[in-house]
Chain A
Amino acid sequence: MKILGIDSSGLVASAAVVEDDNLLAEYTVNYKKTHSQTLLPMIDEIVRMTELDLNTLDGIAVAAGPGSFTGLRIGSATAKGLGLALGKPLVEIPTLEGLAYNLYGTEKLVCPMMDARRNQVYTGIYEFRGEELTALMDQTPLSVAELAERLNETGREVILLGDGVPVYREILEKALRVPYAFAPAHMNKQRAGAVASLGLRYLACGKAVTAEEHRPEYLRMSQAERERAERAGSC
């Protein structure tokens, strides 16, 4: 089975092709250029490098949120367009799960976090039970202080990663009372290899949607909806 993985949920843009137990190609860029300009040229590059016939793909895995609203939509629209044109299913990988999967096999807890602005992170707490990635806390927007509290409650050693780490590192270092480590550069950001690899497992057990059905999971209302709900609540 062969799958294309896409992740443009955060600062990183990443594309990869995984066939069974092999990562055939991965292209990850963590640079200021907009994902809209980089993502498809990156896919094109790995397709050409691996002489991939897109029609031989079994599916397209996409980091489906949370993340930057615009970044998510660039990845989703790209995946939906490819899915529509190729008649292939999509596999929605929760962004935080994809991030956590970079640390496959660790006995420590894994806590990926993405900067969600407004003093919050999108985060979750995961552990590997055998081959299974299990969520102790599902992905959610949370204040950094609250996240530290949740981690302290587990009493377990944790590895922190994600683009929220450099933003909140000092706060975390002060607040954490459990042993912790920060994941190194090659595994601390979104990588489409992990998205594709996890996607392949999901696809094998039928966890796929049609290109038409897929939409990002933002985990947050738009500002206008939030303000409208607040107004409705106050009167």
Chain B
Amino acid sequence: MEDKKDILILGIESSCDETAASVVRNGRQVLSNVISSQIELHKLYGGVVPEIASRKHIENINQVIEEALRQAEVTLDDLDAVGVTYGPGLVGALLVGVSEAKAISYAKKLPLIGVHHIEGHISANYIENPDLEPPFACLVVSGGHTHLVVVRDYGKYEIIGRTRDDAAGEAFDKVARAIGLGYPGGPKIDRLSKEGNAEAIHFPKAHVADAPYDFSFSGLKSAVLNYLNGCKMKGETVIAADVAASFQKAVIDVLVEHSMMAVKEFGFTKFAIAGGVASNSSLRAAMEAACRKNHVKFYHPSPIFCTDNAAMIGAAAYYEYLAGTRHGWDLNAVPNLKLGER
């Protein structure tokens, strides 16, 4: 018997194209993690269509939540709180999860905790790493975000670097489209890169002059497109695998470089990655090697906790719950929510 009561939280996530629900015990133990992905549907359009995503969310959400409860072998009466992503993300998509979560917590008289999507991604690292506690640095890389974050404490974040233009995952998607791989680009480029030569083409690594931790990927994306155009004009055959590998290396080199610079500057002994792109195998390998070289312990979630999921929202909601964060029935979706805002 534990002397402290377990805290069970239902997490709900619908900020983009995944409808997800999860039951998490004490912020770290995932009892269920149900994800209904819409990727196949959005592939038809080459990217996420917000209205279609919102429509699918409302069709699937009850089933996803009920399945999460069933797999966790709990009922709503066993829960201590409901956590839900309320931003950032697609407003129409967020509103489905937020409205549903509010209604459930209202009907069951449960505390409602709005969670920042990025805080969720960062917290995904707590799930499989019982020893990980703040402070640490975390690189969040996904289709919508590229943030270098200092995690001072649970719920206390400082963004020290961010992208000035495209998110890393966005650059993957755009380059994948240009070399005919389709959507989503990240996993496809990751796979194809293994067959290519990363040194074949030299693509520029953009640095932002006055902000050493910031990123810029639009120049790199343009360089790839220019290269492809150049080949076409000269009638040269493009070796897609080489383009993919060389592009991916250029992205990863910058991500690793900035991350290690931050770790050294702030004197962290722990470094984590999070977000959909964190499941990229080459990025993981490069980060792992760099961390080892710098005597820093490297943390990363399993791929299932990297892409959008609700277990990470349940994990983040737990620490917000402990900190006393409670939202009212007027909680709204905030598409451009800033990290650390309540």
With A36-B99, A41-B329 already in contact, the answer to whether A81 and B54 are too (CB < 8 A) is no
Taking a contact as CB atoms under 8 Å apart, the answer to whether B103 and A36 are in contact is: no
Q: Please name the residue on chain A nearest to B47 by beta carbon.
A: A224
Interface membership of chain B positions 184-199, coded 1 if the CB is closer than 8 angstroms to chain A and 0 otherwise? 0000000000000000
CB <8 Å contact, B329 and A40: yes
Q: Is B181 an interface residue, CB under 8 A from the partner?
A: no
Min Cβ gap A27→B in Å is 13
Known: A40-B102, A77-B103; 10 extra A-B contacts, CB below 8 A, are A36-B95, A37-B331, A37-B332, A70-B92, A81-B101, A82-B103, A212-B63, A215-B59, A222-B55, A224-B51
Given contacts A85-B103, A225-B52, contact A73 B62 (CB under 8 A): no
**By the criterion CB–CB under 8 Å, are B92 and A36 in contact?**
no
Which of chain A's residues has its CB closest to B77's CB?
A85
Q: Which residues of A contact B76 (CB under 8 A)?
A: 85
Q: What's the nearest-Cβ distance from chain A to residue B100, in Å?
A: 4
- CB of A54 closer than 8 Å to a CB of B: yes
Distance, CA A69 to CA B97, complexed state (A): 15
Distance between B316 CB and nearest chain A CB, rounded to angstroms? 21
Least CB distance from A143 to B in Å reads: 22
Closest 6 CB pairs of A and B: A81-B103, A77-B99, A85-B107, A222-B51, A40-B329, A212-B62
- Say yes or no for A76: interface residue by CB 8 A criterion: yes
Assembly CA distance A139 to B86 (angstroms): 34
Which residues of B have CB within 8 Å of A223?
51
Q: CA separation between A82 and B65, bound complex, in Å? A: 13
Q: Write 5 A-B pairs (CB below 8 A) sorted by A numbering.
A: A77-B103, A80-B58, A81-B107, A222-B49, A225-B52
Say yes or no: B104 contacts A224, CB within 8 Å: no
Determine if B306 is an interface residue (Cβ-Cβ < 8 Å): no
Question: How would residues 51 to 78 of chain A score, 1 for a CB under 8 Å from any chain B CB and 0 otherwise?
Answer: 0001000000000000001100110111
| Contact, CB under 8 Å: B61 / A80 | yes
User: B62 — which chain A residues lie within 8 A by C-beta?
Assistant: 80, 83-84, 211-212
Q: B54 and A69: CB pair below 8 A? A: yes
8 Å CB contact of B104 from A44, A81, A228:
A81
Contact present for B66 and A73 (CB under 8 Å): no
Interface contact A77-B96, CB-CB below 8 Å: yes
CA A43 to CA B106, docked complex, whole Å: 10
- What's the least CB distance linking A92 to chain B, in Å? 13
B108 CB–A CB distance under 8 Å: yes
Interface residues of A (CB under 8 A from B): 34, 36-41, 43-44, 54, 69-70, 73-74, 76-86, 211-212, 215-216, 218, 222-225, 228
Contact B103 A80 (CB under 8 A): yes
Question: Is B108 a contact of A85 with CB atoms below 8 Å?
Answer: yes
Does chain A have a CB within 8 A of B160? no
B330 interface residue, CB < 8 Å from A? yes
Which residues of B lie under 8 Å from residue A83 when comparing CB positions?
A: 62
**Residue of B at shortest CB range from A6?**
B103
User: A3 → chain B, closest Cβ, in Å?
Assistant: 15
Cβ distance B146 to chain A, nearest Cβ, rounded Å = 26
Let me know if A84 and B44 touch, CB within 8 A.
no
- A224 CA to B48 CA in the complex, in Å? 10
- Central interface residue in A82, A84, A228, by most chain B CB within 10 Å: A84
**Interface residue B98 (Cβ < 8 Å from any Cβ of A):** yes
Give the complex CA separation of A34 and B332 in angstroms: 8
Identify which of A37, A38, A73, A222 contacts B96 (C-beta below 8 A). A73
* Complex contact A69–B44 (CB within 8 A): no
Contact B104 A84, beta carbon cutoff 8 Å = yes
Q: Are B45 and A77 interface neighbours, CB within 8 A?
A: no
CB distance from B249 to the nearest CB of A (A): 34
Q: How far is the CA of A86 from the CA of B51 in the complex (A)?
A: 29
| Residue numbers in B under 8 Å from A40 (CB-CB) | 99, 102-103, 106, 329-330
Across the interface, which residues of A come within 8 angstroms of B99, CB to CB? Answer: 36, 39-40, 73-74, 77-78, 81
Q: Interface centre among A44, A85, A225, by most B CB within 10 Å?
A: A85
**With A69-B92, A222-B51, A225-B52 as contacts: A81 and B102 at CB distance below 8 Å:** yes
B333 sits at the interface (CB 8 A): yes
Query: Within the complex, what minimum Cβ distance (angstroms) separates A234 from chain B?
Result: 17
- The CA of A54 and the CA of B107, in the complex, are separated in Å by 7
Q: Which residue of B lies closest to A39 (CB)?
A: B99
List residues of B (41-97) whose CB comes within 8 Å of A's CBs.
44-45, 49, 51-52, 54-55, 57-59, 61-63, 65-66, 76, 91-92, 95-97
Are A76 and B58 in touch, CB under 8 angstroms? yes
A40 to B105, CA, bound (A): 11
Q: Are B54 and A70 in contact, CB atoms less than 8 angstroms apart?
A: yes
CA distance A84 to B98 in the complex (A): 15
Write out the residue numbers on chain B whose beta carbons fall within 8 Å of the beta carbon of A84: 62, 65-66, 100, 103-104
B106 to chain A, nearest CB (A): 6
* Contact of A77 with B58 in the complex, beta carbons under 8 Å: yes
A40–B82 Cα distance when bound, in Å, is 16
A41 touches B103 (CB 8 A): no
Residue contact A36 to B54, C-beta cutoff 8 Å: no
User: Which positions 320-342 of chain B face chain A at CB distance < 8 Å?
Assistant: 328-333
State the CA gap A43–B99 with chains docked (Å). 13
Closest Cβ–Cβ distance, residue B68 to chain A (whole Å) = 12
Note all chain B residues with C-beta closer than 8 A to A212: 62-63, 66
